[in-house]
Amino acid sequence: MHEHRSEPEHIPPPDLPRHRTILGFKPHHFIGGLVLIAILFLYLLLLVRPGIWVRSQPRTVPTSSFAPADTKPPIAPLESS
């Protein structure tokens, strides 16, 4: 068997530099996630309430289900002399 010798001149390497994290994520991943959430939130707002983004005239709601077939004014009969 090999004999284990402790070498006094051996110095272990320093720890690898630790990256700064925000809630356990690297900063560029965290910011990207926030941007993605903001885009999805705006998309949901656009789906649910399109009137917020596009100013349109209010739609007229018919008061009855009757829809005339022809909306042209009637032609006046010709007067015969």
Asked if residue 27 is part of any domain, the answer here is yes
Asked if residue 75 is part of any domain, the answer here is no
Tens-digit pLDDT string for the chain (81 aa) = 555 666 678 888 888 777 788 888 888 899 999 999 999 999 998 888 876 666 666 666 666 666 666 666 667 777 766
Number of domains into which the chain is organized = 1
Asked if residue 1 is part of any domain, the answer here is no
Residue written as tokens 């994290």? 21
Residue 39: the pLDDT is: 96
Residue 10: the pLDDT is: 83
* DSSP letter, residue 11: -
**Contact assessment for residue 45 and residue 52, using Cβ atoms and an 8 Å cutoff:** yes
Residue written as tokens 């070498």? 7
What's the domain range around 26?
A: 18-50
Asked if residue 62 is part of any domain, the answer here is no
Asked if residue 64 is part of any domain, the answer here is no
Asked if residue 40 is part of any domain, the answer here is yes
Query: Is the model's pTM score more than 0.75?
Result: no
Phi, psi of 25 (to 5 degrees): -110, 150
